[in-house]
Amino acid sequence: GPSPATDSYLRIDKIIAAAKATGADAIHPGYGFLSENADLPDACVKAGLIFVGPRGEAMRALGGKAAAKDIAIKAGVPVVPGYQGRAQDAATLTKEATKIGYPVMIKAVAGGGGRGMRLVSSAQELPELLDSARREAQSAFGNPDVLIEKVVVKPRHIEVQVFGDTKGNVVHLFERDCTLQRRNQKVIEEAPAPGMSAQLREKICGAAVTLAKSVNYEGAGTVEFLVEGGTLDASAKWYFIEMNTRLQVEHPVTEAITGLDLVEWQLRVASGEPIPLAQAAIKMLGHAIEARLCAEDPDANFMPSIGTIRAFEPSSRKDLRLETGVESGSVVSPYYDSMIAKLIVAAPDRAHALASLADALATTHVLGVKTNIGFLHALCVHKGVMAAEMDTGLIGRDIATLTQSRSSPRAIALGARALLTSKAAKANLHSVKAPDPFGARDAFQMSGKRSVAIPVMVDGKPEKVHATWASDHVDVICGDTLGRWADERHTAHSIMSTDGRGLVSVFGSTAYVSDNLRHTTVAFPDYDASALDDDAGTGAIRAPINGRVAKLFVVKGDTVEKGQRIAVVEAMKMEHVLTAGLGGTIDKLPAVEGAQVAQGALLATIVPA
């Protein structure tokens, strides 16, 4: 089917038809989309197919956050105070939020991954955030229902990997720490949880097994908890929050510390075999950490980055486990999650694992789209993270320092030098129809030193560099910084530092630079009059990214105030709210709710009041 998930990956009939057409006898649901939709395993049974996961009834019991909380309460497992009732009208939800007391958290009943979650600080914020959470939940899971919970103070997010089989056996494979989150999205996960006391581990892991056994759970699942206060000592307060009835994105860290293959276990259990090991035989050794590499721009509030991956050069570290679905030349679209790879390392202890991950990030390069590599590296060397003094609010509190990065003069000069010297660039320095030596940008002079100031565009903004030609090379300086690594290796299409921490490649008329964990583009200016904004003097509101117009809040002729919501554009399963930059009247409104739009597309114009 077409790219939007509602027309393809969320269509059970199409999934079943694909299995039948290919002769498959089983369906593995992966991490997202229908992986927690109980209708899929039911449809598999009806179609004579094996579903690699829990039965539909178990998924309904524990996969929905509201029903799972009721089961936990009956099982004696502590839960976060909140409302998980069936009444979903705005009046009921508003009343319950007031009863719980602000701040509260809205959560989508179906699915996980932080989708459909909103932190509400006051009653005034509730209507807007409730509407937004419902839209996102409907888009991601096909179910707009939500629950409301009290916000836990300084929580650590701990989850337990459980496994059940058709014989009634359930075991746990210890815990993972998923505390490092941004906007309720996991960023870095590790196992075991640093600082976890043996007593708390026994309580939480035992509660997870009890919960799974209560519904005769089969296959892989993850039971999630919040531990209050930021520490994991024996006396800490802890609460069950939800169960993910599927394999988790972060399952490799559990595999690393146990030496077990969780997908193999899934297939064996789905085939009717018992769990391969009894609880006493499952041991853990060492420490493992996983980082989620995403196509997003931390400098632009983590706006998804869409486009062609010009080069993907992972670290060559032997202790790195890389899981990815992209390669050089792959296109990152606006339709799916922004995660493009996972980097997993394991070591005898946490300190060495953190150091290994930091180095793996520093020696991995993605050119063509912005990524969060620098942000991930900053987390690995953050004092609080290194000391395991963290809670789910750490990233939000320290976001300014964690995203402090800008294009360095060296990166700019490196890119400009590549533009002037690479084979790909030289082909673009002359007219396509008739190569002309007088059009070459090589500072040719009849006499004297061959030196010239050159204007370039750096990430779309004007900059100047100074180039000097010698007999066998070109030196480029930005400010007072030379664009050259101390030791570098040249190929036909790229330049790489021999320590693996820098890479520059030219594609077309643009140089892509990865230097000091920062992605920079350098290009010669394109003086195109057609690119001028013809909306001068109006409040032009344009799509910040390729995506879908999820919501329009205005109609043509409406009077709006500065800061008022105009539209919501959805991309990579995230919503981007666009507001009025000035007060006035909606003059043009070419945007259509539900339509796909390209980055830069005009959505509305405002005539100043």
- The residues annotated with a catalytic role in the active site are 246
Tell me whether strands 50-51 and 26-27 are parallel, antiparallel or unpaired. parallel
Question: Residue 521 and residue 523: Cα distance in Å, rounded?
Answer: 7
572 and 337 Cβ atoms separated by less than 8 Å:
yes
Question: Residue 160 and residue 221: Cα distance in Å, rounded?
Answer: 8
Backbone angles phi, psi at 273, to 5 degrees: -80, 155
Backbone angles phi, psi at 296, to 5 degrees: -155, 160
* DSSP alpha helix (H) spans, 64-125: 65-74, 90-100
CB atoms within 10 A of CB 371: 28
Question: Residue 113 and residue 31: Cα distance in Å, rounded?
Answer: 9
Q: What is the dihedral of CA 132, 136, 139, 145, to 10 degrees?
A: -80
* Contact residues for 461 (Cβ-Cβ < 8 A; gap 6+): none
* DSSP alpha helix (H) spans, 422-516: 423-426
The structure tokens 């694909």 sit at: 18
Residue 167 identity: K
The token pair at 487 is 């030791």
Give the Å distances, CA to CA, from 283 to 173, 232, 278, 353, 532. 8, 20, 10, 19, 64
Type and span of the H or E element at 128: helix 126-141
253 and 288 Cβ atoms separated by less than 8 Å:
yes
Q: What is the dihedral of CA 439, 445, 446, 450, to 10 degrees?
A: -150
Number of residues that make up the chain? 609
Nearest to 319 by CA among 286, 302, 343: 343
Exposed, middle or buried: residue 575 (CB in 10 Å: 0-12, 13-18, 19+)? middle
Tell me the angle at which helices 56-63 and 39-46 cross, rounded to the nearest 10 degrees.
180
Tell me the angle at which helices 65-74 and 198-213 cross, rounded to the nearest 10 degrees.
110
Q: Max Cα separation, the chain?
A: 89
Tell me whether strands 156-164 and 219-227 are parallel, antiparallel or unpaired. antiparallel
Question: Residue 194 and residue 231: Cα distance in Å, rounded?
Answer: 9
Q: How far is CA 319 from the centre of its chain?
A: 23
Backbone angles phi, psi at 216, to 5 degrees: 55, 50
Q: How far is CA 92 from the centre of its chain?
A: 33
For the chain, count helices (H), then strands (E): 16, 37
Half-sphere exposure of residue 64: CA atoms within 13 angstroms, side-chain side: 20
